[in-house]
């Protein structure tokens, strides 16, 4: 009977000990899911035994739950250790595994399997305790029940909570990070035995985590067949589709693999919050995400980059070999990819990988999870990765050169080039752009300007591409723009019909630059970053256009003045009555002067106070930093400073500056037409409008609403330039006082 | 692009300045005296980022040749150039020497007349040079408005004639001049100097788009006071001029975001067509043997020093009362060197707070600060250097002085006979003198009017005087404006 009991204690029921559940199942076929994990143990002594004393029955009934727990745990462990399913899953992560998963009840989980292993460990302790008890019983001439009770007493505190745990796991289908989370929480308990059990289980769980971390941070591979890692790939299907479509030609594939690498970096992976154990801080998770992505990038340089590098290396090699005879060099050239593994090695040397692995191994082996040491390890791994990535991006990929090039072209630092371009395209830009050919039309002056000002000196120029967004390939992204431009063009045309002054405002403002960056710089110059650059560029080029028109107009007026005098003299010589036109309408000079002043000061402000200042800051950072993440954030800061300090994000200011630019252009074009078709009333209108705008610009710059904002210092800087001799202020005040003579207004302004 | 600029050097002074200017440019661009790039410059080609083609073009054999025309009526200075170290730099076809040889009697009219006679030859040269450029921006003329103390003032007449012709033929091109004004403190040994000055001034007023005034008096003073030279030679004062010239062209030669062409440079400085006379200041000034003098040069220091009259290359002839009324119409500072751009704003603010600049009241005005790169080949001990181009009303006192000297002479009817010999003044027709005087007077008036807040009204009076249909329309527009 004692053996019957012992057997029951290791999960086997019989006549003596029965499972109530079985009973119930035979009685009613209830399919209540909770009954899988009954809250109360279901092992009971068979009720019909009469030879057992009630006191003994009591003792036995108290022991029996252990057997029940054992059985359930064992069952759980066996289920999740289901080796074949795991093996399969490991080898065919996507296809077969899913089927297998479906076959085996519930979804497979590596973590659960690890827990199961842990449970087996615990159970084996229990089993050996039972064995011990059996031996004790056998050796004892007078076996008593108390021996059993005594031997298995300590499991009373251990097994029920573990059972509760697995019950919860099964019930709520807890997997991955959540599982760790749960275990971690359970570790906090006051019972030493139980705590050590849970810690052991957690340790098992962490083994999996560390393995995943290692594959992620050492090899950049996501080894996570069941979606349990807290870093996950996004949009599986999209990327796969993309690559499957592009299998057609090799070239395309390289391209798409490049793209895939890029998307990998940008959006390919993300932190899956659900699987993130709560005790791992978000920052740490991000660091892990970054490190993995960095390693991924370092481990998989794209084809073109590899090719480039290896050819470069071979150049060196060949150069060296040329002295000895060039046959060897040819052989090398035939296999350009030969050296590629070496390059990947260069990018991320094995020693570094080993170091990371070692760090993780150290963590893996410690029996307890120390948050502090874990975090510090992750951080140092992250630093290592960031360093290597930095080296790749900054040194190998010549980040600084590209930054400079972006400044040259997007921030118009190569002023002569753009001046030449705008000059060349001036006639073209006076007409509304023809939708079909605008880009091609502009290409001519663009190339010409490049030829004249840049020549072969600038190796970055070939990366710059001119676009009129609605027309080029970028169709998809700018359908909206197209619509807008159509409207614009229409309006321009209609205006042209009405006023015949030939201004069309202005489809050309959509001029865009594209900058093609090679791997791995896409990591740095993300489309988002480039679009910010583009925004600034479009603003600056409009400013430049306006400035140039104003200057042209100035030069024209200067010439007119000379010519007028010459005419005057000739007339006088010919003794005509002195009907001289010497005096040009002075107000034109004045209005133009105000316009020029405003535009130029805005330019000076943006160039000196904003671009150059920020650029110096960025340079200083680039020089001192050797951490990729840091660099990215500096660069982000640089860009957003450019945008915010040139007021592109303050609607009121940028709108007014916009309309001022428009007015300036209209003014210039009108003046130009003046000789042929003097249209004073329109000029007058423009002048009036301009004065109004410039006054309201003053009001806005001074307004108390913006005074409190972060940008106040920059607004003040700009205002200081505009209002250097207080003229701006005086006129604005004068007008304001006339227009709305509110008593307290001046004091406010 | 390049917005080419053709430099025309006329006369002794013009050629001397020009020579120094080209020397300076060669050094800054790493071009050797023979026009070939120096070794260091070819190596650093990718880092230079300079535009040599604005002022130079390349011959077939890679020589850099200045877009310069050298003209004189007497051979002395040009011979010096032709025998000097830089003799191979210039295109020898671009040197014009009058067959006439030595000039006749310091007479503007003679020079003007001679100019008329050789105009075809000269314009051939100009045309050839202009055709050789891709998009010619304009001309820079170096000359002296009345010659030095020596002989040969008739060359000023030639310069004047050239100005008129350029204006006629290249009406769409800009003409900027670097005009050296004679020393007003010493009485010149050329007695007719006031006549010549006045006649030249008229052309500068009417036919030039911008005149950079360099006053020999001030140049001498600066050489003595700032450079501590006891007796500054012409060469030394001329090197000051060439410093100014090269500095004012840095934004053209080292292009940046702005001011990459002459128009851009000038348009903001010259708000009204007639007031196009600019003063310059430069700091820190050193000559070669003084390289060991090191000064602290922050942006504020530089900008402050540029505003000090002692650094300005035009003497102030104004009485103190007038001087206090003088106002800046516009200022452009070109700052070269290692500048922390954030300092610019601080300096501007400081200068405004301290009220160091007195600006006009009738229009917007500010100190524009352009940052420019520095030649990588020139080592200087100072980190920052600055050039100021300023339109300042006190320049009228210089013109007044010229007028005064002219009046004195004219009252006496002195030395007019020499002029009557030439067609312009034939038949005792001295209307050219009168007209010139009138124009200069009106110029002085206009500058004076600029000092008052109602300068705009001054314009209106004038337009009323003009009584043309345009004028009245302008008037109506004007009244709107002054609202």
Low-confidence ranges of chain B (pLDDT < 70): 1, 43-48, 99-105, 147-154, 184-189, 286-296, 318, 459-483
Residues 6+ apart with CB under 8 A from A437: none
Q: Do B273 and A584 touch (CB under 8 A)?
A: yes
Residues of chain B neighbouring A590 (CB-CB closer than 8 A)? 271, 363, 456, 481
Q: Which of B341, B352, B480 is the closest to A684 by Cβ?
A: B480
Q: Residue-wise over B419-436: b if at least 16 C-beta within 10 A, else e?
A: beebebbeeeeeebbeeb
Q: How far is B250 from chain A (nearest CA, A)?
A: 13
pLDDT surpasses 70 at A276 = yes
CA B145/CA B179 separation, integer angstroms: 6
Q: Do A559 and B171 touch (CB under 8 A)?
A: yes
Does residue B431 lie in a domain region? no
Q: Residue-wise over B325-345: b if at least 16 C-beta within 10 A, else e?
A: ebbbbbbbbbbbbebebbbbb
Q: Does A600 touch chain B (CB under 8 A)?
A: yes
Does residue B144 lie in a domain region? yes
* Look-up of token digits 């993780």: A360
pLDDT surpasses 50 at A685 = yes
Does residue B422 lie in a domain region? no
CA A679/CA A676 separation, integer angstroms: 9
Q: Does B467 touch chain A (CB under 8 A)?
A: no
Q: Which of A200-204, A219-223, A596-600 has the lowest mean pLDDT?
A: A219-223
Q: Does A570 touch chain B (CB under 8 A)?
A: no
Count of domains for chain B: 1
Q: Which of A415, A589, A684 is the closest to B255 by Cβ?
A: A415
CA B258/CA A419 separation, integer angstroms: 9
Residues within 8 A of B (CB atoms), A 382-411 only: 411
pLDDT attached to residue B178: 92
Q: Does B426 touch chain A (CB under 8 A)?
A: no
Mean pLDDT of A320-336: 43
Q: Does B342 touch chain A (CB under 8 A)?
A: yes
Residues 6+ apart with CB under 8 A from A109: A80, A175, A176, A179, A226, A228
* pLDDT band at A334; cut points 50, 70, 90: very low
Mean pLDDT of A727-749: 56
Q: Which of A134-148, A568-582, A720-734, B76-90 has the lowest mean pLDDT?
A: A568-582
Q: Do B257 and A412 touch (CB under 8 A)?
A: yes
Q: Chain-wide mean pLDDT for chain A? A: 72
Does residue B410 lie in a domain region? no
Q: How far apart are the first and last CA of chain A?
A: 101
Q: Which of A582-586, A593-597, B394-398 has the lowest mean pLDDT?
A: A582-586
Which of B462, B288, B314, B447 is closest to B389 using CA atoms?
B314
**CA-nearest residue of chain B to A540?**
B257
CB–CB of B375/B24 below 8 Å? no
Mean pLDDT of A108-127: 84
* Look-up of token digits 């003007």: B112
Mean pLDDT of A238-258: 42
CB–CB of B14/B142 below 8 Å? yes
Q: How far apart are the first and last CA of chain B?
A: 43
pLDDT attached to residue B127: 93
β-pair type (A269-271, B3-10): unpaired
Which of A577, A520, A562 is closest to A303 using CA atoms?
A520
Instruction: Look up residue A382 and give its two tokens.
Output: 């992250």
Most A CBs within 10 Å, among B139, B209, B257, to test the A interface: B257
Does residue B407 lie in a domain region? no
**Exposed, middle or buried by CB within 10 Å (0-12, 13-18, 19+), for A29?**
exposed
Between A181 and A664, name the one with better pLDDT: A664
Mean pLDDT of A437-441: 77
Q: How far is B6 from chain A (nearest CA, A)?
A: 17
Q: Does B371 touch chain A (CB under 8 A)?
A: yes
Does residue B285 lie in a domain region? yes
Does residue B236 lie in a domain region? yes
On the CB side of A195, CA atoms within 13 Å amount to: 6
Q: Residue-wise over B298-316: b if at least 16 C-beta within 10 A, else e?
A: ebbbbbbbbbeeebbbbbb
Q: How far is A721 from chain B (nearest CA, A)?
A: 7
pLDDT attached to residue A267: 59
Q: How far is B13 from chain A (nearest CA, A)?
A: 26
Work out whether the CA dihedral B83, B86, B90, B95 comes out positive or negative: negative
Instruction: Say which CATH number the domain at B176 has.
Output: 3.40.50.1440
pLDDT attached to residue A339: 46
Q: Which of A548, A565, A608 is the closest to B371 by Cβ?
A: A608
Q: Does A717 touch chain B (CB under 8 A)?
A: yes
- Domain ranges, residue B87: 4-397
**CA-nearest residue of chain A to B263?**
A551
Q: Do A423 and B462 touch (CB under 8 A)?
A: no
Asked if the ipTM is above 0.95, the reply is no
Between B322 and A594, name the one with better pLDDT: A594
pLDDT single digits (tens) A495-554? 333 333 333 446 677 788 888 877 677 778 888 888 888 888 988 888 888 998 888 888
Q: Do B364 and A551 touch (CB under 8 A)?
A: no
Between A259 and A88, name the one with better pLDDT: A259
Q: How far is B439 from chain A (nearest CA, A)?
A: 11
**CA-nearest residue of chain B to A587?**
B478
Residues of chain B neighbouring A607 (CB-CB closer than 8 A)? 256-258, 371
Give all strands (DSSP E) within A477-545, no chain letters. Answer: 512-515
Q: How far is A501 from chain B (nearest CA, A)?
A: 19
Give the CA distances from residue B52 to residues A452, B39, B41, B137, in Å, rounded to whole numbers and listed in that order. Answer: 12, 16, 12, 15
Mean pLDDT of A654-672: 87
Q: Does B481 touch chain A (CB under 8 A)?
A: yes
């Amino acid at each position: 009977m004692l053996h019957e009991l012992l057997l029951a204690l290791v999960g086997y029921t019989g006549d003596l000990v029965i499972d109530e559940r079985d009973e119930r199942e035979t009685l009613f076929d209830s399919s209540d899911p909770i009954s899988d994990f009954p809250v109360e143990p279901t092992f009971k002594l068979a009720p019909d035994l009469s030879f057992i004393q009630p006191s003994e029955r009591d003792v036995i009934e108290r022991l029996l739950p252990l057997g029940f727990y054992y059985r359930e745990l064992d069952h759980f462990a066996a289920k999740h250790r289901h080796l074949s399913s795991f093996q399969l899953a490991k080898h065919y992560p996507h296809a077969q595994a899913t089927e297998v998963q479906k076959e085996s009840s519930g979804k497979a989980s590596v973590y659960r399997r690890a827990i199961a292993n842990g449970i087996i460990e615990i159970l084996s302790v229990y089993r050996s305790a039972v064995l011990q008890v059996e031996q004790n019983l056998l050796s004892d001439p007078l076996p008593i029940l108390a021996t059993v009770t005594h031997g298995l007493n300590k499991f009373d505190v251990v097994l029920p909570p573990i059972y509760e745990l697995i019950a919860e796991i099964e019930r709520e289908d807890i997997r991955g990070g959540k599982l760790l989370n749960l275990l971690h929480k359970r570790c906090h308990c006051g019972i030493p035995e139980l705590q050590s059990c849970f810690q052991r289980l957690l340790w098992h769980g962490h083994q999996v985590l560390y393995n995943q971390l290692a594959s992620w941070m050492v090899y950049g591979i996501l080894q996570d067949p069941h979606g349990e890692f807290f870093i996950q790939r996004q949009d599986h299907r999209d990327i796969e589709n993309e690559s499957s479509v592009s299998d057609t030609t090799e070239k395309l594939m390289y391209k798409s693999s490049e793209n895939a690498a890029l998307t990998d970096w940008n959006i390919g992976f993300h932190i899956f919050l659900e699987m993130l154990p709560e005790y791992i801080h978000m920052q740490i998770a991000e660091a892990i995400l970054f490190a993995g992505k960095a390693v991924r990038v370092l481990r998989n340089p794209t084809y073109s980059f590899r090719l480039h590098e290896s050819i470069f290396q071979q150049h060196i090699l060949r150069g060296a070999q040329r002295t000895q005879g060039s046959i060897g060099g040819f052989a090398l050239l035939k296999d350009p990819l030969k050296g590629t593994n070496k390059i990947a090695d260069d990018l991320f040397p094995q020693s570094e990988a080993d170091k990371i692995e070692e760090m993780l191994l150290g963590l893996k082996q410690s029996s307890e999870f120390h948050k502090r040491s874990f975090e510090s390890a992750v951080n140092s791994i992250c630093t290592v990765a960031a360093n290597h990535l930095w080296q790749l991006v900054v040194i190998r990929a010549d980040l600084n050169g590209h930054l400079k090039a972006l400044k040259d072209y997007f921030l118009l630092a190569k002023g002569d080039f753009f001046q030449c371009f705008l000059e060349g395209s001036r006639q073209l830009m006076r007409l509304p752009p023809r939708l079909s050919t605008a880009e091609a039309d502009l290409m001519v002056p663009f190339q010409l300007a490049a030829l004249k000002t840049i020549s072969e000196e600038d190796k970055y120029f070939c990366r710059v591409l001119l676009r009129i967004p609605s027309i080029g390939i970028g169709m998809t992204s700018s359908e909206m723009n197209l619509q807008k431009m159509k409207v614009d063009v229409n309006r321009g045309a209609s205006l042209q019909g009405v006023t015949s002054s030939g201004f069309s405002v202005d489809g050309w403002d959509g001029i865009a630059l594209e900058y093609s960056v090679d791997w791995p710089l896409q990591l740095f110059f993300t489309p988002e970053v480039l679009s910010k650059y583009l925004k600034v560029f479009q603003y600056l080029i409009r400013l430049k256009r306006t400035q140039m028109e104003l200057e042209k107009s100035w030069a024209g007026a200067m010439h007119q003045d000379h010519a007028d005098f010459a005419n005057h003299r000739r007339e006088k010589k010919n003794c005509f009555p002195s009907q001289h036109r010497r005096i040009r309408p002075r107000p034109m000079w004045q209005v133009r002067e105000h316009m020029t002043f405003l535009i130029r000061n805005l330019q000076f402000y943006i160039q000196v106070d904003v671009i150059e200042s920020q650029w110096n800051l960025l340079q200083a950072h680039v020089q001192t930093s050797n951490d990729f993440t840091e660099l990215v954030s500096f660069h982000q800061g640089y860009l957003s400073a450019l945008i915010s300090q040139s007021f592109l994000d303050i609607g009121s200011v940028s709108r007014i500056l916009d309309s001022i630019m428009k007015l300036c252009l209209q003014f210039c074009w009108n003046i130009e037409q003046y000789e042929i078709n003097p249209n004073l009333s329109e000029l007058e209108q423009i002048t009036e409008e301009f004065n109004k705008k410039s006054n309201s610009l003053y009001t806005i710059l001074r307004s108390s609403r913006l005074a409190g904002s972060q940008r106040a210092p920059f607004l003040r800087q700009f205002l200081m330039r505009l209002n250097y001799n207080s003229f701006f202020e005086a006129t604005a005040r004068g007008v304001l006082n006339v227009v709305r003579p509110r008593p307290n207004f001046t004091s406010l302004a | 692009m390049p917005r080419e600029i053709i430099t025309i050097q006329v006369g002794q002074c013009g050629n001397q300045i020009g020579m120094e200017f080209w020397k300076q440019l060669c050094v800054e661009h790493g071009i050797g005296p023979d026009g070939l790039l120096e070794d260091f410059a070819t190596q650093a080609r990718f880092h230079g980022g300079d535009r040599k083609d604005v002022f130079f073009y390349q011959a077939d054999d890679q020589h850099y040749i200045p877009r310069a025309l050298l003209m004189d009526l007497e051979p002395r200075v040009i011979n010096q150039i032709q025998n000097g170290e830089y003799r191979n730099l210039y295109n020898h076809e671009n040197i014009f020497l009058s067959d006439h040889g030595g000039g006749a009697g310091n007479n503007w009219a003679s020079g003007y007349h001679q100019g008329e006679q050789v105009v075809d030859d000269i314009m051939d040269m100009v045309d050839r040079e202009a055709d050789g450029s891709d998009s010619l921006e304009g001309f820079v003329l170096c000359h002296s408005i009345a010659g030095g103390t020596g002989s040969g003032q008739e060359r000023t007449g030639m310069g004047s004639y050239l100005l008129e012709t350029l204006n006629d033929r290249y009406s769409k091109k800009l003409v900027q001049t670097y005009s050296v004004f004679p020393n007003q403190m010493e009485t010149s040994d050329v007695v007719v100097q006031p006549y010549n000055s006045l006649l030249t001034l008229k052309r500068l007023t009417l036919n030039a788009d911008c005149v950079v005034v360099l006053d020999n008096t001030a140049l001498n003073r600066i050489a003595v006071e700032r450079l501590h030279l006891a007796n500054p030679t012409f060469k030394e004062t001329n090197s000051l001029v060439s410093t100014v010239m090269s500095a004012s062209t840095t934004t053209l030669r080292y292009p940046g975001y702005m001011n990459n062409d002459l128009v851009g440079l000038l348009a903001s400085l010259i708000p009204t067509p007639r007031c196009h006379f600019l003063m310059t200041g430069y700091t820190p000034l050193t000559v070669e043997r003084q390289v060991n003098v090191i000064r602290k040069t922050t942006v504020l220091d530089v900008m402050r020093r540029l505003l000090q009259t002692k650094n300005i290359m035009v003497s102030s002839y104004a009485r103190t009362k007038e001087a206090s009324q003088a106002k800046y119409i516009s200022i452009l500072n070109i700052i070269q060197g290692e500048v922390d751009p954030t300092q610019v704003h601080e300096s501007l603010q400081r200068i405004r707070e301290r009220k160091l600049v007195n600006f006009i009241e009738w229009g917007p005005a500010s100190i524009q600060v352009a940052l420019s790169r520095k030649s990588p080949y020139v080592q200087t001990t100072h980190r920052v250097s600055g050039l100021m181009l300023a339109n300042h009303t006190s320049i009228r006192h210089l013109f007044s002085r010229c007028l005064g000297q002219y009046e004195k002479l004219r009252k006496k009817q002195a030395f007019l006979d020499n002029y009557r010999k030439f067609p312009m003044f034939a038949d005792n027709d001295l209307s050219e003198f009168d007209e010139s005087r009138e124009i200069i007077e009106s110029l002085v008036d206009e500058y004076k009017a600029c000092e008052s807040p109602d300068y705009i009204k001054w314009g209106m009076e004038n337009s009323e005087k003009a009584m043309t249909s345009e004028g009245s329309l302008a008037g109506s527009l004007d009244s709107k404006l002054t609202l």
